[in-house]
Amino acid sequence: MNESAPAPGQALAVNAELLYLVNLMLAPGLAFLLLAWLWLKHRRTAPALARQHLDQTFVVSLCGGALLIVACGVILALGGLDWSWTWVIVLLYFLLVHSTLIMFGLIGLSHAMAGKVWPFPLLGRAARWIEVK
């Protein structure tokens, strides 16, 4: 069987998606720093496939992390630390958003492994706002 050659930037795209998932599930912070370093290093020189996955994972990591911190902070501020329903709402919100981000990361990884572009719904489209010069 003849296997087709990988798309230009496919390995970098897969690494970006893997770091995104590691940041969400195994080593938050450390994996984000590695992803940020990868993005800073390759954002101007990466092929289109890799650039899309790098931009997307970096922007979604930033926006997703900020969204989780702000939303949980607002819920805690409004409900107070002593109200038991505050913690129920915080946990439900965190689990819902976090699991959704993981699911999108898995879909993004499968597309990167196939050498295809796939923008995350909503937050992934924010990656288009980053202009690479």
Mean predicted confidence (pLDDT) in 93-103: 92
CB atoms within 10 A of CB 61: 24
Mean predicted confidence (pLDDT) in 74-100: 90
Q: For the chain, what are the domain ranges?
A: 10-117
pLDDT surpassing 60 at residue 48: yes
Interior CA angle at 124 toward 29 and 108, to 5°? Answer: 75
Give the pLDDT confidence score for residue 132 in this predicted structure.
45
pLDDT surpassing 70 at residue 3: no
Give the pLDDT confidence score for residue 2 in this predicted structure.
46
Q: What's the chain's average pLDDT?
A: 89
Kindly report the pTM of this predicted structure.
0.87
- E-assigned strand segments in the chain: none
pLDDT surpassing 80 at residue 94: yes
pLDDT band at 76 (very low <50, low <70, confident <90, very high): confident
Q: How many CA atoms lie within 13 A of 66 on its CB side?
A: 7
Q: For the chain, what percent of residues have pLDDT higher than 70?
A: 89
Mean predicted confidence (pLDDT) in 50-74: 91
Report whether 8 contacts 49 (CB < 8 A). yes
